[in-house]
Amino acid sequence: MNNENPVSRKYKRYDEAFKRSAVELWLQGGKSAEQVATELGITSQSLQHWKKQLAALPTSGLGQRSAQQLEEENRRLKRELQGALRRCDILKKTLGILSSPSENGSNG
């Protein structure tokens, strides 16, 4: 029988930003996958796997949102625009009132 204690492997997890940066460094840096992997302390297989994963993802965040989410964002942005336009009108009126000559002024 094997008396060795089974050693559970602990895999290091990397966030998407790291994976994306590593793949970009590999593809744009002019180095081999092995060289980049060694510099980053990862395996070249991981780097190649991440490249495949990232290639399968949409390049734009818009592709990941549903039509309902886009419509809601559109409505929210329209409300924000209306509020900004109202504030702009109020400022214009206030500026007009403050800059117009006073009717009760004591001009000689």
Contact of 23 with 51, CB cutoff 8 Å: yes
Task: State the pLDDT at residue 5.
Answer: 54
| pTM for the structure as a whole | 0.45
| DSSP code string of 72-100 | HHHHHHHHHHHHHHHHHHHHHHHHHHHHS
Establish if 85 belongs to a structural domain. yes
Give the pLDDT mean for 14-34: 87
Residue 24, pLDDT > 70, answer yes
Number of domain units in the chain: 2
Token pair belonging to 21: 């940066």
Mean per-residue pLDDT over the chain, rounded = 81
Rounded percentage of the chain residues whose pLDDT exceeds 90: 32
Answer whether residue 6 is part of any domain: no
Q: Give the domain range for residue 25.
A: 13-57
Q: Are residues 48 and 24 in the same domain?
A: yes
CB hemisphere CA count around 69 (13 angstroms): 6
| 17 close to 24: Cβ distance less than 8 angstroms | no
| Residue 21 in domain | yes
User: Per-residue pLDDT for 8 more than 50?
Assistant: yes
Instruction: Identify whether residues 21 and 39 lie together within a single domain.
Output: yes
